[in-house]
Amino acid sequence: CKSAINVVGCVCLSRSSVRAIFSSSKAAVSKPRKCASVVYTAAASLAVGGGLCAVPFKQVENLSHDSLIRRAASLVTDSSSTFLSQTTLALIDAITEYSKAVHTLIALQRRYLASLGKLTPAEEDSVWQVIIGQRAEINDRQDDCKRLESTWINVVKLCETAAEAAYSSGAEHASITMSSNIQVALSQVKEAQKLSQDADKKLAETKVLEVQRMAQQAASSEEEEIPEAYLRED
């Protein structure tokens, strides 16, 4: 109830203030032009304050619709730039973590291949458990990259739209700044993706090497077993 009374009181006060302002503006027709300008500015500021956003104005010429649109465009580009920087940082971190996980798997597989034929069955099983766990981590990291990349692409499109809208509204500086931020984000993500692609390439090479070594190991085992089988046939 007290909140409702306060709201009603504020509305009544605002209406009274507006009536007082316009009454004083009528009475001030014969007064100096400077006073009339101040009264008009105050009335316009109060009217804007009752809407979406209270914008302080110091000069009458700044109250045009074009000026308000340019200010709004600047606010949109600023918030879009923040959105872009946050998603770009998150995506780069995800790609970096994915690349680290891939390089860790490459090291594990190469270490396993180097000790192939020298491990006991228990040791070999233990190594494979570690490799399987690392592959699962890579899959998780890859899912994070895909999720963040999807969000990042949508944010880039949003920023491009904001830049176009700012330019068409006359906020050229905001549009140029937004376009520059987009180019920086694209460049940073591209560099991070190059690192992950290089890691994927090395992983593929390691897998090929693994297949070759496993085939050689299998062939070597068969050659060692042939004499024994031949003797058993005799």
* Residue in 102, 108, 84 with CA at minimum distance from that of residue 140: 102
Q: Is residue 228 part of a domain?
A: no
Q: Which two tokens stand for residue 41?
A: 């500015």
SS3 216: helix
| Domain membership of residue 85 as a residue range | 65-218
Long-range Cβ contacts of 143-151 (<8 Å, 24+ apart): 144/94, 144/97, 144/98, 145/91, 145/94, 145/95, 145/98, 145/196, 148/87, 148/90, 148/91, 148/94, 149/91, 151/87, 151/91
Residue at 231 is within a domain:
no
For the chain, how big is the Rg over CA atoms in Å? 35
> Does the residue 2 lie in any domain?
no
- Domain for residue 12, yes or no? no
| pTM score, whole prediction | 0.66
pLDDT at 223: 55
Task: Look at residue 210 and tell me if it is in a domain.
Answer: yes
What domain count does the chain have?
A: 1
Distance separating alpha carbons of residues 55 and 33, to the nearest angstrom: 23
Residue 20 domain-assigned? no
Position 142 scores a pLDDT of: 95
Q: What is the CATH number of the domain that holds 133?
A: 1.20.58.70
Domain annotation covers residue 118: yes
Helix 172-233 and helix 65-114, axial crossing angle in degrees, nearest 10? 20
Please give the single-letter amino acid code of residue 171. A
pLDDT of residue 153: 97
Using CA atoms, how far residue 197 sits from 87, 98, 153, in Å, is 20, 10, 19
- Tokens describing residue 217: 């190991």
Q: Where are the alpha helices (DSSP H) in 28-120?
A: 33-49, 65-114
Nearest CA-CA partner of 35 in 24, 44, 46? 24
What local confidence, expressed as pLDDT, does residue 221 receive?
A: 64
Q: List Cα–Cα distances, 20 to 29, 32, 43, 135, in angstroms.
A: 15, 19, 10, 74
Going residue by residue through the chain, which has 234 residues, state the pLDDT in tens, using 9 for 90 and above: 433 334 333 434 344 443 443 344 444 444 444 434 433 333 333 333 334 444 454 444 556 888 899 999 999 999 999 999 999 999 999 999 999 999 999 999 999 888 887 888 898 889 899 999 999 999 999 999 999 999 999 999 999 999 999 999 999 999 999 999 999 999 999 999 999 999 999 999 988 888 888 777 777 665 555 445 434 444
CA–CA gap between residue 209 and residue 204 (Å, rounded):
9
**CB 179: neighbour CB atoms within 10 A?**
18
Instruction: Tell whether 183 is covered by a domain.
Output: yes
Half-sphere exposure in the Cβ direction for 22 (13 Å, CA): 8
pLDDT of residue 69: 92
How far apart are the C-alpha atoms of 6 and 12, rounded to whole Å?
10
CA 26 vs CA 17, 49, 182, 189: distances in Å: 14, 22, 51, 61
The pLDDT assigned to 124 comes to: 87
